[in-house]
Amino acid sequence: MLSAALRHHRFMENNAPRPNRIVWVEIPTKDIDRAEASYSKLLDSTMFRKTVAGQELSVFTTPTGAVGGALIQSEDHLPSEHGPTIFLNADPSLNAALERAWDLGLKVLQPATELPAAMGRFAVIMDSEGNRIGLHSVHA
């Protein structure tokens, strides 16, 4: 699944060197429609649907060259609060993203926390599907 998805991601189109060690993220869902609505509101962003290798994805919009990712629903991808924590960009405002999380009824597992050396702030939520997801912003 990963290799098929990466071929469709914009920064892979010209075989340019990848600037990041992490190149693609898939967040498992139980209900892709519910998860897409939740993430679109949480991140104040649009997503788009794409079928890759026979599986439907809801893809996060990212600028060319950025790390990409998608929501995925399949029997092989199960939501969990016990796996790795993925941190999503909550710019321009972590506080606004957390307010949207509360509006969506999402559980905040760790409130906004300052990082050292002007690295910004982060928080951790439980998404609509039961995944532990981090939010990060360089702005309040």
Q: Which residues contact 19 (CB under 8 A, 6 or more apart)?
A: 65
Predicted TM-score (pTM) of the model is 0.81
Please report the domains of the chain, with CATH numbers, ordered by start residue: 2-137 (3.10.180.10)
Residue 56's nearest CA partner among 88, 28, 20 is: 28
Crossing angle for the helix pair 94-103 and 32-42, nearest 10 degrees? 140
Q: What is the pLDDT along the chain (140 residues), one digit of tens a residue?
A: 444 444 444 444 455 666 677 889 999 999 999 999 999 999 999 999 998 888 899 999 998 878 899 999 988 899 999 988 999 999 999 999 999 999 999 999 999 999 988 899 999 999 999 999 999 999 87
Q: Which residues contact 138 (CB under 8 A, 6 or more apart)?
A: 91, 118, 119, 120
State pLDDT tens for residues 24-55: 999 999 999 999 999 999 999 999 999 888 88
* Residue 44: Cβ within 10 Å count: 12
